[in-house]
Chain A
Amino acid sequence: TQLLEQSPQFLSIQEGENLTVYCNSSSVFSSLQWYRQEPGEGPVLLVTVVTGGEVKKLKRLTFQFGDARKDSSLHITAAQPGDTGLYLCAGAGAGSYQLTFGKGTKLSVIP
C-alpha cells in the first residue's frame, strides 16, 4: 500500500510570511499532483510534477519533485489570505488507475 505523509497538518501564518509544505513517501510515484480544496468544494488541481528533481512555479507557489520521485514540497512566498485552504498532494503509481492522497495541510493566512 502506498502512503503519502503530509506535514504539517495545520499551519497558521500572518499575511506576507513564507511557508513550505511537505509530502513524503517510501514509494516511488510516476507523477505527483498538488491540489487545493476550499470548504464544501472539490479539490482543484494546482500542478503535476513528473520528472525527478523537477521544479515548477505558479506565481508565488513553487513545487518541487524529489530526485527519487518519492517526495515533494510546496513553497509559498509572501502568503495571502486567498491562499487559505486545504493543500493535498496525490501520487500516481505506474500503471495504476489510483491516486493516493495525503491527509492534507490546512493553511490559514491571517490578514
Chain B
Amino acid sequence: ETGVTQTPRHLVMGMTNKKSLKCEQHLGHNAMYWYKQSAKKPLELMFVYNFKEQTENNSVPSRFSPECPNSSHLFLHLHTLQPEDSALYLCASSHPPPGRGGTEAFFGQGTRLTVV
C-alpha cells in the first residue's frame, strides 16, 4: 500500500464508450501525474498537475481528458478510445515534483485498460 489508490483496477470498454479513471492520494502531496505503460515501451508521462494546476501535457490526444478538482484527487476521462490505447494507466504523486528538489514519486497499482 503506497497511499495512492486507483479505481477501477481493470476496465474493458468499447471504442464508443465514455469512462473515467480515478486516483486518490492520502500522502499530502501537491503534484499528481498520469502515466501510460504499454508493452515494450518506457513509462510515458501524460499529464502533470501541481497544486491542482496542469503544468504539463505531453502531446496527449484529446480523447484523454484529465481533471484535478483538488490536490488529493485526479481523474482521467476517456472517450472514443482506440484499441492501441489499451495499456496500464498509472497514477503517481510527489511533493514537490521530483526535479525541483523534491521527493520521490509514489505510484498507485494502476488500471489495466482494454479497448475493444
Contact = CB atoms under 8 A, between A and B. Distances in A.
Interface string A30-58: 11010100001111110010000000000
B99 A93 contact: yes
Interface residues of A, number: 27
A90 B90 CA distance: 15
Interface string A66-95: 000000000000000000000010101111
Interface in B60-116: 88, 90, 92, 97-101, 104-110, 112
B48 A97 contact: yes
B56 A44 contact: no
Contacts of A33: 98, 104-105
A95 B98 CA distance: 8
A96 B2 contact: no
Pick from B42, B48, B88, B92 the residue with the most CB of A within 10 Å. B42
Contacts of A99: 45, 98-99, 105
